[in-house]
Structure 1
Amino acid sequence: MPKSPQAPEHNRREPPVDATDRALLAELVSNSRISVRALAERVHISRAGAYARIERMLAEKTIRGFTARIDPARVGLGTTAYVTLSIDQAAWRPLCAALRSVPYVDHFALVGAEFDVLVLVRAPDNEALRDVVLRELQALPGVRSSRTWLVFEEADGRGFSDPA
């Protein structure tokens, strides 16, 4: 009997996390500095169980790392803008690599909208923002046009939360 073709790697779905994993994730998002002992107590599992689940989620890349959240203005990045890019159809992969080296680019994503790429830029001031947009982003190969939206004020969302 012939083998059935396997789904391409990008189409495979990892098994979903369970309720205990979700509780661990919610606690870690709330406070990534929490001790494993306190984390296990809050989620009502053993310390060894908490360690094992965290290690598994790190290995599976469910948890992609632990980080501090920084106030951009307090570290000299007082100007924030969203920049949208319209790009040539085949430009995403090389553009993705190039965007990683553009100064002050905080985050970027390929999106389905009237534009193709959404870029979050955090710069020291308007002059630096102008340089990033006009000299860096618009000069990247495959970029056809850009639009910039200056951010006046930001608010945090809920972050990860268990929808159940």
Structure 2
Amino acid sequence: MASEQMADRARDTGGRPPPRPLDAIDQDILAMLQADGRASIRSVAERVHISRANAYARINRLLEDGVIRGFSARVDHERAGQGTSAYITLKIVQNSWRTVREQLEELPGASHIALVGGDFDVLLLVHTPDNRALRELVLTRIQAIPQVLSTRTLLVFEEQDLEPRD
């Protein structure tokens, strides 16, 4: 019986073991790395009052468990030549999410894709050099996906990434 329950849990989590609970130290480490992904092991250990070996082991466990998915730079898209941002909502053919997602992942400038509930099915955030490139992306790339029934483009006038709170 126990092995059947474990198999059910593994299926529910995409074949991965279920997540382990995070304690206050893990939460502090996550907050620190979200604020500064380049923080050294030494500075993490000092801030959360644990040994460097413990900090190293905890960060590795968070990586192995998939809690930390990776490290990246926060980019100012306008300064990087991607001055036009938009959220694009899509209505798609029922049960076509995986196929559509694979095609959207390949789009230049796509930075976030979410399957959502409500008046539309997918929310896509894109960054393009200008409105002409955005128009081209929507009209010739996204609307050409056979499973996409309709789109609506919401132009972003101003955006601000929220910093993690301590």
TM-score normalised by structure 2 residue count: 0.90
Aligned residue for 2:136, secondary structure, equals: helix
Q: Which amino acid aligns with 2:12?
A: N
Q: Which amino acid aligns with 1:43?
A: V
- Say whether 1:137 aligns with 2:142: yes
Partner of 2:33: 28
Distance 2:71 2:37 in 1: 6
Question: Which consecutive aligned stretches of 4+ in structure 1 deviate over 3 angstroms post-superposition?
Answer: 1-6
CA RMSD of aligned residues (A): 1.8
Structure 1 residues not aligned, in runs of 5+? none
Give the Å deviation of 1:100. Answer: 1.3
Letter paired with 2:130:
D
Deviation track 1:25-50 (CA, whole Å, cap 9, x = no partner) reads 00001111111101100000000000
Deviation at residue 151 of structure 1 after TM alignment: 0.3
Q: Map residues 41-52 of structure 1 onto 2, 5 A cutoff.
A: 41-52=46-57
Q: Which runs of 5+ in 2 are unaligned?
A: none
- Number of residues paired by the alignment? 161
Q: 2:70 aligns with which of 44, 57, 65?
A: 65
> 1:86–1:42: structure 2 CA closer, same or farther, 3 Å change rule?
same
Deviation at residue 2 of structure 1 after TM alignment: 9.7
Does residue 121 in structure 1 map to residue 122 in structure 2?
Answer: no
Partner of 2:155: 150
Question: 2:96 aligned with 1:91, yes or no?
Answer: yes
77, 85, 90: which one pairs with 2:82? 77
Partner SS state of residue 79, structure 2: helix
Question: C-alpha deviations, 1:24-79, integer Å up to 9, x for none?
Answer: 00000111111110110000000000000001111111111111111000110000
Is the counterpart of residue 9 in structure 1 residue 10 in structure 2?
yes
| 1:91–1:141 contact (8 Å) kept in structure 2 | no
